[in-house]
Amino acid sequence: MKCMISQAWVCGLLCLTAGSVLAQSGSATPADTSRSRATAPAKPAVHKARHDTAKKPAAAPLAAAEVLPPLEPELVAVAEQVHLGQMKCELGQTVIITNDEKSPGRFYMHHQRQTYHLTPVVSKTGALRLEDAQKGAVWIQLSNKSMLMNSQLGQRLADECQSPAQAAVAQAMKLAPPINLLEGGRDVARQ
């Protein structure tokens, strides 16, 4: 460390000396000053660059995305039902879902500095399901709420996420709860 500091000091001193000589001669050109900057030590600049990248938010994957193959008709039907936009979730979290303009039927989801590229998946339960197989993200959309899970970690990342349409359904469910088929007293089949 001591050696690196002394090398940086010597290089800096050389740059200052060269710069002052050029300035005194009056013939400093932009090309000359860029050469004097090029002799500056590279190690501190590399360290600073690493520090700066740690602060930057994660870039969207597939920024220069290739166009993916078209989806099957049943997956296109699933994609048409996905709620888009910003959704508020429990614990003050938000999720933003946007269309992938280059690959119709696929979506980008932004959640806590992470970006997921989601593709519809057929679900037997009736819930809408979108997945990012690379990152393990699974978005499940019900009529009254949605949730984001990470299948690789086995964790729920966001819950109780609602678009305005889902919030309206949730409110209607509170006012008129669905009929419990397991409770007796009402013959639901005859109604």
**Residue ranges per structural domain of the chain:** 2-55, 73-175
CATH architecture assignment, domain 73-175: Beta Barrel (2.40)
Closest by CA position to 111, among listed 62, 150, 63, 151: 150
How far is Cα 115 from Cα 57, in angstroms, rounded to an integer? 10
* pLDDT at residue 128 in the model: 95
> Which residues does residue 115 pair with via DSSP β-bridges, in sequence order?
110
E strands, the chain, are 85-88, 94-99, 107-111, 114-121, 128-132, 137-141, 146-150, 155-161
* pLDDT at residue 186 in the model: 56
pTM (2 d.p.): 0.59
* pLDDT at residue 168 in the model: 95
Q: Average pLDDT of each block of 10 consecutive residues along the chain (191 residues)? A: 43 44 44 44 46 43 63 90 96 95 94 95 91 95 95 93 95 85 62 52
CB atoms < 10 A from the CB of 37, how many? 10
